[in-house]
Chain A
């Protein structure tokens, strides 16, 4: 049994919030670079260059990459040999978010009530997913997600007899509808299977991969490639002004489901993909 003080989790979350918002991850930078080499539209190229330049300014001046510093989504994988003391995971994570957003001069984008609105003022509460895993470590995977792209996400319950083509059409339809609003070039997270809620979680979890990392299942990896080609043929392009880079990657996660169901969720992520992880 390993004891971990809850406060330690908060400190890590705080650091990850600031890093995710100000330091563009290498995998995203690499994906943008690759896209720039292939982009055919001059306006599209110009936008991709601006994205590269912005990452430099943000890093040097400790400014957020995007003014929408997102709602914080935290996946906490707790080793079953770990005993958390002096507090709870939930408190610790929210304390970390609160401190990170205050000290990091990050915009607070959490509405207090979904209908009556108002701002919680400190960007809490975070969306927290905990999972018990083997071992005596804690892994924290943190995503700060902007509202524009999240709003373009969709879910549909297909029939078990639906074809792959019908699913592809739904995903393409979602991307087309999102168009410029999702801040393309986007990352398309797809969850296939499970239940209504679990498909959406799978879609979100697919975004935790390194950008462009293919699914370990060969057939699913090929499906990802096939969809990426289709999406980049739409012509939507960077910021929707036309071009050959609409998506940087398609990332699919699958799970078994009920014999009557085939849920498919599409979680759209903007090019300012802010993700960091750490071990305790």
Chain B
């Protein structure tokens, strides 16, 4: 497992997604969509963003102080979004970002539709807000902190946890360091 640093643009091309391997450190620039539980429930057929090549980040920030772009923002547990993910990948979402495991169906859909799952360490939300240059509410403002956001980011860091080949860093990393 040789990990490299990859700079990527979002929305991302199929080719760039396929080049991501588990353990790679990724620096994302461009647009990222932020949505979690309640927004996923409301998505239905009319998505409030263009899915093709999109990056979807499972998060909801703390309130923004006056004069700042956004509050603290870090990932929430991805597993809770698993039931919605295969349909979104089918529509063209290429990257999902969160923390923790993904279910079997999601990994199978990631292989099928060539998508990657990235992890941002949880609980480092103050530092991670610094890569965000702009934040706009694009849907469901009534949801408050769970509203859908479009972020403009520069060199936003994440780690590839599951790649489009279905390799899983949670499994491989654990195996490497477990002591019987």
Residues of chain A whose beta carbon lies under 8 Å from any beta carbon of chain B: 40-41, 43-44, 47, 50-51, 53-54, 57-58, 61-69, 105-108, 117, 119, 121, 146, 148, 151, 179-181, 183, 233-244, 270-272
Contacts and interface: CB of A to CB of B under 8 A. Distances in A.
B137 to A, nearest CB: 15
A151 B174 contact: no
Contact of A180 (B64, B99, B125): B99
Interface in B89-146: 99-101, 119, 121-130, 144-145
Contacts of B169: 241-242
A67 B60 contact: yes
A242 B71 CA distance: 30
Contacts of B177: 40-41, 44, 235, 237, 242-244
B13 interface: no
Interface in B53-80: 59-65, 71-74, 76-77, 79
B122 A238 contact: no
B176 interface: yes
A85 to B, nearest CB: 34
B113 to A, nearest CB: 23
B3 A43 contact: yes
A121 B143 CA distance: 11
A53 B124 contact: yes
Given A68-B76, A180-B100, A237 B127 contact: no
A242 B174 contact: yes
B161 interface: yes
Contact of A107 (B38, B71, B121, B173): B71
30 contacts: A40-B177, A43-B159, A54-B124, A63-B62, A63-B126, A64-B72, A65-B72, A67-B60, A67-B71, A67-B125, A69-B62, A106-B62, A107-B72, A119-B144, A121-B144, A146-B123, A148-B77, A233-B178, A233-B179, A235-B173, A235-B174, A235-B175, A237-B174, A239-B121, A239-B122, A241-B159, A241-B161, A242-B170, A242-B173, A270-B123
Contacts of A235: 173-179
A64 B128 CA distance: 11
Among all A-B residue pairs, the 3 with the closest Cβ atoms:
A242-B173, A235-B178, A272-B123
B166 interface: no
The residue in B72, B144, B172 that gathers the most chain A C-beta atoms within 10 A of its C-beta is: B72
A180 B170 contact: yes
Contact of B62 (A44, A50, A67): A67
A175 B73 CA distance: 25
Given A107-B62, A107-B63, A181-B100, 9 more contacts: A43-B159, A66-B122, A108-B144, A183-B123, A235-B175, A235-B177, A236-B174, A241-B170, A272-B122
A50 B63 contact: no
